[in-house]
Amino acid sequence: MARRIFISGTAGFIGFHLARLLLAQGWRVHGYDGLTDYYDVRLKQRRHAMLAQNEAFAATEAMLEDVDTLQRTVEAFQPDVIVHLAAQAGVRYSLENPRAYIDANILGTFNVMECARAVPVQHLLMASTSSVYGANEDMPFRETDKADTPLTIYAATKKATEAMGHSYAHIYGLPTTLFRFFTVYGPWGRPDMALFKFTRGILQGTPIDIYNHGEMWRDFTYVDDLVRGIGLLIDTVPPLPGARGEPIPGDSLSPAAPFRVVNIGNSDKVRLLDFVEAIEAEIGTKAIRNYLPMQPGDVPATFADASLIQALTGFRPNTPIREGVARFVAWYRDYYGV
């Protein structure tokens, strides 16, 4: 019988790609997404419509905060595994509308955790972010580094998600994995993120905003690589204390719970201006650059140590930046007919 997975955020960028991958691997997938209007809802509707072409997919379009609908949906589906990706994302928007992050990421995540323990699922996996490394300057970022200096309410709510997950893993013995994603990019991406804005600006001949005068570095992760990493972690269930073999060097496994935090990144930091040049080269037009100071809450660099996921699963990202950018630009041109 097909294994059953409940994924929140399936109308979103990463959830859509993960659902596609798992459907192709023979899973039965139930998606859950409130199709919030943080960005173009049509893009979210199109993603769900694409997934709905597969009969092993069904979705409930509702908010995480609607606890009755969420509980009914999870109870009826009886998943083996839950992957929780739905969230209010975005570093910059968290300065404008902090409450959205408290609602979706704190209350919403709590509701998902309650569902996971009620079933109970074999493994709960939830999205955190490289933003939890906050003001850390020691790079690459390791899962075992202290991460106590969040710079935005977005990062703070994700850090809270990690702490809440640990407590349920401890009290209920609920195996839980938290992913820390770095800057994810690729087709069907998010309109609020740099690649999308840069591509649109270059194609339309409008200026693109480049913060910190271009002195920015990001660990860009291609979305197909990322969801392959998530897929491998689904079957890497953190063991209970007392049921463990040889420790893995650098493992973030909690001494008190079946709980682990795992970076999924490319382990390569790319200068933002090189990224812009890759888009320009792909489109064949120069960008009009609007150099700006650093944005509040932003960090100049992120860079993942991805040796833990590699030790656990053998995962290695393999999409070069030029190829990933080319695939995004091709998708963008096709989607918008430009």
Ligand X SMILES: NC(=O)c1ccc[n+]([C@@H]2O[C@H](COP(=O)([O-])OP(=O)(O)OC[C@H]3O[C@@H](n4cnc5c(N)ncnc54)[C@H](O)[C@@H]3O)[C@@H](O)[C@H]2O)c1
Supply the residues annotated as catalytic.
154
231 binds ligand X (CB under 6 A): no
Minimum distance, C-beta of residue 240 to ligand X, in the bound complex (Å): 26
- Rounded CA separation 128/126 (Å): 7
For 127, 258, 311, the CA distances from 178, given in Å and listed in that order, are 6, 11, 16
Rg, C-alpha atoms of the chain: 19
Minimum distance, C-beta of residue 124 to ligand X, in the bound complex (Å): 14
Those residues whose C-beta lies under 8 Å from the C-beta of residue 53, and which sit 6 or more positions away, are none
Nearer to ligand X, 232 or 248 (CB): 232
Give one DSSP letter per residue of 184-214, joined into a string.
Answer: EE-TT--TTSHHHHHHHHHHHT--EEEGGGG
Nearer to ligand X, 103 or 215 (CB): 103
Helices (H) and strands (E) in the chain, counts: 12, 13
Among 328, 91, 324, CA closest to 211 = 91
Minimum distance, C-beta of residue 66 to ligand X, in the bound complex (Å): 8
Which residue number is nearest to ligand X in terms of Cβ?
12
Would you give the binding string for ligand X spanning residues 175-204, x where CB under 6 A is met? ------x-xx-----x--------------
272 binds ligand X (CB under 6 A): no
Nearer to ligand X, 89 or 278 (CB): 89
Q: Which element (helix H / strand E) includes 299?
A: none
Nearer to ligand X, 184 or 283 (CB): 184
165 binds ligand X (CB under 6 A): no
Q: How many residues does the chain have?
A: 338
* Touching ligand X, residues 100-129 (CB under 6 A): 104, 108, 127, 129
- Kindly indicate which of the ranges 32-40, 145-153, 229-237, 267-275 contains the residues binding ligand X, using the contact rule CB under 6 A: 32-40
Residue 98: asked if its preceding bond is cis (omega within 30°), the reply is no
Those residues whose C-beta lies under 8 Å from the C-beta of residue 246, and which sit 6 or more positions away, are none
- Rounded CA separation 295/176 (Å): 34
- Kindly indicate which of the ranges 6-14, 198-206, 246-254, 263-271 contains the residues binding ligand X, using the contact rule CB under 6 A: 6-14
6 binds ligand X (CB under 6 A): no
Would you give the binding string for ligand X spanning residues 64-93, x where CB under 6 A is met? xx-------------------xxxxx----
Would you tell me which residues interact with ligand X (CB under 6 A)? 9, 11-15, 33-36, 44, 63-65, 85-89, 104, 108, 127, 129, 181, 183-184, 190
